[in-house]
A and B are shown apart, each in its own frame.
Chain A
Amino acid sequence: MRILIVEDEPDLLVSLAQALREEGYAVDTADNGDDGLFNAEGTDYDAIVLDVMLPGMDGWEVLKRLRKTKKTPVLMLTARDQTRDRVKGLDTGADDYVVKPFDLDEVFARLRAIIRRSANKTTNIIEVGDVKVDTAARSVFLKAKPIELTAMEYSLVEFMALHRGEVVTRTQLYEHLFDENEDSFSNLLDVHVSNVRKKLGAEFIVTRRGHGYCIEG
């Protein structure tokens, strides 16, 4: 899962990014509206955390322009908790909002929720055959037995599970699993896929030659 954070307060941006990375997300950051919009338009993020008060273009404007091209789920960070601000945010196309000061756990939960909703899932549990993925606990079970996965392996499983039945290209996987700072080698993805197959069964991820990977629904 790859996330963009647009926030101008450096101390907040740093800790938010760190916390989300530790949650297993690939995180890109921007500290002003223009950079944020540029990033958001150029990459398929799974979600965007967008502050309202930004230098240059403010959060509302970024959201308005982004919605012309992308449906990326957006979580607004606002310091104003007045109803009209929330209404404005939701009407402009925000998927959810959190009011500062917030709890990190709440931000995580809301991010999971908007990502899930964008994938048309209603619960945190995704079941694929014998495999059960709990996106809230970030854990995977095979025949009700917990399986130890690395953060990257989990992200791969989660992304594939959320897009079950679809063919996911390698480019998509690179885009969603790694952030812009990571030097990714093309065989890195193969290593992760191979490790997942070892742990969850060879048939869990099917290779569609020339297209990508798929989890059969």
Chain B
Amino acid sequence: MKLFKSIKWRLQLWYGLILVVVLAGFGFTAYQLQRNRQFRQVDDELHRRISVLASALHRPPPRGQNGNRSPFDQPPRESDFGQPPMDGLPQGQFPDEGPPEGQRNRLPKFLLPAESAHLFDGSDAHGFYFSITAVNMSGHKEIARSTNYPSAPDVEFRSAHNVNRVDQIFPETERFKNSSKISSMMTFDNYRETLNMLPSGEMILVGCSIAPELKELRRTALNLTAVGGLILLVGLTGGWWLVSRSLKPIASISAAAVKISAGDLAQRINVAEAESELGQLAAVLNSTFARLETAFAQQKQFASDAAHELRTPVTVILTQTQTALNRERDAASYKQTVEACQRAAQRMRKLIESLLALARFDAGQEVLRRTDFDFSETIADSAELVQPLADERAVKISVDIEPVKITGDSERLAQVVTNLLTNAIQYNQPAGEVRVQLESQNGLAVLTVTDTGQGIAPADLPLVFGRFYRADQSRTGAGNAGLGLAITKAIIEAHGGTIEVASQENSGTTFTVRLPI
């Protein structure tokens, strides 16, 4: 599933999930609040009616008032419950089967008081309805029921159900305790009903159709779902846009990286949003790319220079041998050819050794054979070694050294000194002078080699330790590939030392080497 490995898609997925959970939670809460509010209104109405009915059940009716007969003190007549006591009043009815004879007298009779009649509109199928049942030890007897008492599900079932409910809700043991008020609220199909047990033993059920409320709630739910869906859609779109927008720098970074890996090291990431975290990343990558580019360019230049240095001796060998083989020659001629080839081969060997040494220093693979030795002895030996060259050029070497014990690779450091001395002689003027000094300063062995040569132009000073740098474009001798000072510097730095150059044009150059003791 490559799709879900993409950060973009995963972010979007998580975002979508969180959005769905939040919206669902919000919608559910809103729905519940709305539902509770509506039901509470209904419940308040139901409770009000329960109170009215309860008080009507136990209140003696005002005498002489037309049609307002109390259900309690007049013996019930069947017909009393068959007709409305007053116009417009809901009809209280006894169920078809009358109460058992023995209980009849004890059963309270019920008529709705006129001032409460408006609370029950018997003709309204969706209005409030009630049912009053007398409950005693021997059973239940419904005393009155409003005409709009819902018939579906069928009355029998409901009656049985209500009785069961009573048994469940009000256990027999508690039923006749004089508890203050025991009531239960239930939702039954589209009806909301409350069932109250009066301490006097009557059970009053008041209910009403909540179809409009349920309809309202369904509409609310539908609205909430629709709005939620819309918000989800807008949110996901916005999220996608945001994710795309914030991942755009990553795309441009990877595009640049692809181009760079394809070999175009000059590519850079456009750091448009430098203040963002990705901008910082891009800046870091850019500087890495820049260093890479420089390193690659140097490497390329180095390889090109190295190849170039090898071309000349190879050309010599090719030309010499081809000429020699063109026709029969005498022995002296062949000898000359072989000698020329030998010189070329030696030059190549020296070059290759230098290149390998540099490569090892670069890679940190050059192992220094460290010993404790007197650096001044090394310098004296080197000075002796280059004396013939100095004599050849009539250059005077003056040595002013004090014994300084250092730890390092004596062979490599001898190479350093010889290198510096050879340069000082070669680039000196005829009958010039080379001064070599060694002293101990602040825990450092300080070696200075000063010549009286033509000096180095200020512009060239930073280049002298570079590879294939020559004071002159000319080749001052076979094997001088311009790697000497680069190797010298590498050896000194491997010892933790430094080398500096200072030069005055037409008066001389001084190399200063500082090595830790």
A contact residues vs B (CB 8 Å cutoff):
8-9, 11-12, 14-16, 18-19, 22, 32, 53-56, 58, 79-80, 82, 99-105
Contact = CB atoms under 8 A, between A and B. Distances in A.
Given A79-B308, A80-B304, A12 B316 contact: yes
A100 B314 contact: yes
Given A22-B323, A80-B304, A80-B308, A11 B316 contact: yes
Contacts of B318: 101-104
A12 B315 contact: yes
Contacts of A100: 311-312, 314-315
A52 to B, nearest CB: 10
Given A9-B312, A22-B326, A100-B312, A15 B319 contact: yes
9 closest A-B pairs by CB: A55-B474, A11-B340, A101-B315, A101-B314, A19-B323, A100-B315, A100-B311, A79-B311, A104-B322
B473 A12 contact: no
Contacts of A56: 474
A115 B320 CA distance: 24
B40 interface: no
Given A79-B308, A104-B322, A58 B473 contact: yes
Interface string B463-478: 0000000001111001
Interface residues of B, number: 26
Contact of B473 (A16, A53, A101): A53
B350 interface: no
B201 to A, nearest CB: 116
19 contacts: A8-B474, A11-B340, A11-B343, A11-B344, A12-B319, A14-B340, A22-B323, A53-B473, A53-B474, A58-B473, A79-B308, A80-B304, A99-B311, A100-B311, A100-B314, A101-B311, A103-B318, A104-B318, A104-B322
B469 to A, nearest CB: 14
Nearest to A77: B315
A213 B304 CA distance: 52
A3 to B, nearest CB: 15
Nearest to A56: B474
A104 B340 CA distance: 16
A125 to B, nearest CB: 24
B474 to A, nearest CB: 3
Given A55-B475, A103-B322, A104-B322, 16 more contacts: A9-B315, A9-B475, A12-B319, A14-B336, A14-B340, A16-B323, A18-B323, A19-B322, A22-B326, A32-B474, A53-B474, A56-B474, A58-B473, A79-B315, A101-B314, A104-B318
Contacts of B322: 19, 103-105
A82 B308 CA distance: 11
B323 A104 contact: yes
A93 to B, nearest CB: 20
A22 to B, nearest CB: 6
A19 B344 CA distance: 18
Nearest to B343: A11
B319 A8 contact: no
A82 to B, nearest CB: 8
A105 B344 CA distance: 21
- Of A15, A53, A80, A82, the most chain B CB neighbours within 10 A belong to A15
A195 B337 CA distance: 35
B491 to A, nearest CB: 28
Contacts of B340: 11, 14-15
Interface string B317-348: 11110111011000000001100100110000
Contacts of A8: 474-475
A56 B474 CA distance: 7
B335 to A, nearest CB: 13
Contact of B312 (A12, A14, A32, A104): A12
A216 B389 CA distance: 62
Nearest to A53: B473
A82 B319 CA distance: 22
